Amino acid sequence: MRAFARQMIERMKAVAAAGAVAAFWLAVWVFVAALVAQPLILPGPGAVVVALLRLVCDAGTWAILAGSGVRILGGLALAAVCGGLLAGISSRSRAFARLVAPALSFVKATPVACVVVLLLIWLGSARVSIAAVFLMALPGVYFSLVEGLTQADKPLEQMFRLHGVRGWRLFCAHTWREVLPFVLSCARAVIGMSWKAGVAAELIGMAVGTVGERIYQAKLLIETADLLAWTVLVVAASWACERVLVWLLRASGPVAWGAAVRAHGHGLHGRAGAVSDGVSAELAFAVGDRAPWAPALDGLVLNVPAGGRICVMGTSGVGKSTLLALAAGECAPCSMVFQDVRLVEGGSALDNVLVCADARADASSAAALLRLLVPGVDVHARVAELSGGQRRRVEIARALLCPGGAVILDEPFTGLDAAARDATAEVVLDLLDGRMLLLATHDVADAQALNISDIITL
């Protein structure tokens, strides 16, 4: 209750501060208008309010504003689609990125007036606003998405792919969530710029029945109050579009994540090697040939029969994680607990387990497993709020419910005391279901807890 009261007080203070700022600038406007004493040059607030009310009460105003808005938003939508496609290709092809980036940088630096004049020559006045908005917004969309894709969490993406989360589910669970902050930043800059470019194009092209035409007419007739009134309407429309679109974009993140969680196991139900099928993977490959940079793996041949259990031991940096990564690539999709934490921090513990789970695992069974591994845990709490040991066991729960014929554990008991380790190992053994188990550790007690006697020392 106190926290709510403090929030309300802070909001009231913010509103009061904003009102004080608005009152200050309104007073400045009144003073300057009185000093100039020329309504044709600078009308006072009262004259502008009268002109604004006249426009608002005219149904034709809304039709004109809506028409311009549709064209502007159409150009913006086209820029978003094309920018997304170009950014996606650029993230996979450096040659394509080198080819596209200079052209879009040139467009970004070109003055709006020059772009509009050229478009008028090529397209005519009817389509100039859509094309102008498209060209002005495209560079911002493209470069923001490229930056977002470049900085996306690659280890987390590897985790999803390894567990069989691909296609639209990978986009919803990972890609969109990673690029969304960049998209939001871009939207705040591009939406206002799009309205400016669209209205400027209409004004220069004198397109009939548009906001730009009305502004041009007000300028010709020296109706400064009407010009300022139309400016207020355009600013208000731009502000409203920005607020609505930013809200929709913010909401799309949780919606996309929820869709990926609800569709867990999509495309993997019934596949050979799924956990529910009881089919175990087997491994047989020359490790040294795949990792020539790791001397400790030179000449090593990993041969694990179906249902076998192998422990890889060695000091830090000797190549245990490299060996496990190579093994995971051989039998993907598989279940794996990585040495570093790979969780979606904003998601709940339950959702982090379900998003990679087999199609036959439901929310109740996943929650029961989490409560068994982490007694007293709130399965709906964000993993960012959990302790290190709890987060580790969330990853183990995820691995046990993932599809695949192998369970690969890289230092899985980090942060757990002996009692928690033994209890967790017991659950792992109970739910192994005949799958191959591959463990990397530096502590022989981990291997003993998992009843592994076949040990490879690096």
pLDDT in tens, 104-132: 999 888 888 888 888 888 887 778 889 99
Domain 275-457, CATH number (from 3.40.47.10, 3.30.390.10, 3.40.50.300, 3.90.1150.10): 3.40.50.300
For residue 321, give both structure tokens.
């994680």
pLDDT at residue 4 in the model? 64
How far apart, in Å, are the Cα atoms of 13 and each of 20, 24, 25, 342?
10, 16, 19, 41
pLDDT at residue 276 in the model? 40
pLDDT in tens, 289-328: 666 666 767 777 778 888 889 898 888 877 788 888 888 8
Does residue 5 surpass a pLDDT of 80?
no
pLDDT at residue 282 in the model? 67
pLDDT in tens, 399-413: 999 888 889 999 999
The owner of tokens 């598989």 is: 334
**Cβ atoms of residues 271 and 403 within 8 Å:** yes
Least confident of 79-83, 148-152, 207-211: 207-211
Average pLDDT rounded to a whole number, residues 50-66:
90
Question: From CA 86, how far away is CA 90, in angstroms rounded?
Answer: 6
Average pLDDT rounded to a whole number, residues 247-252:
96
209: left (phi over 0), alpha (psi -120 to 50) or beta: left
pLDDT in tens, 72-102: 999 999 999 999 999 999 999 999 999 999 9
The answer to whether the bond into 333 is cis (omega within 30° of 0) is yes
Average pLDDT score, the chain: 86
What does CATH list as the number for 39-262?
1.10.3720.10
Least confident of 32-41, 207-216, 410-419: 32-41
**Count of H helices and E strands in the chain?**
18, 7
Question: From CA 128, how far away is CA 202, in angstroms rounded?
Answer: 7
pLDDT at residue 86 in the model? 96
Max alpha carbon distance in the chain (Å)? 95
144: left (phi over 0), alpha (psi -120 to 50) or beta: alpha
Burial-class residue 133 by CB neighbours within 10 Å (0-12, 13-18, 19+): buried
Amino acid of residue 18 = A
Percent of the chain with pLDDT strictly greater than 90: 51
- φ, ψ dihedrals at 304, nearest 5°: -120, 120
| C-alpha of 277 from chain center | 33
Average pLDDT rounded to a whole number, residues 169-179:
95
Least confident of 249-258, 259-268, 393-402, 405-414: 259-268
pLDDT at residue 273 in the model? 36
pLDDT at residue 281 in the model? 65
Average pLDDT rounded to a whole number, residues 333-342:
89
How many Cα atoms sit within 13 Å of 210 on the Cβ side? 26
pLDDT at residue 279 in the model? 54
pLDDT in tens, 347-380: 999 999 999 998 888 999 999 999 999 999 999 9
Position 144 confidence tier, pLDDT thresholds 50, 70, 90? very high
Question: From CA 369, how far away is CA 381, in angstroms rounded?
Answer: 15
- φ, ψ dihedrals at 357, nearest 5°: -75, 160
**Cβ atoms of residues 332 and 159 within 8 Å:** no
Does residue 189 surpass a pLDDT of 70?
yes
How far apart, in Å, are the Cα atoms of 388 and each of 84, 349, 413, 439?
37, 13, 11, 20
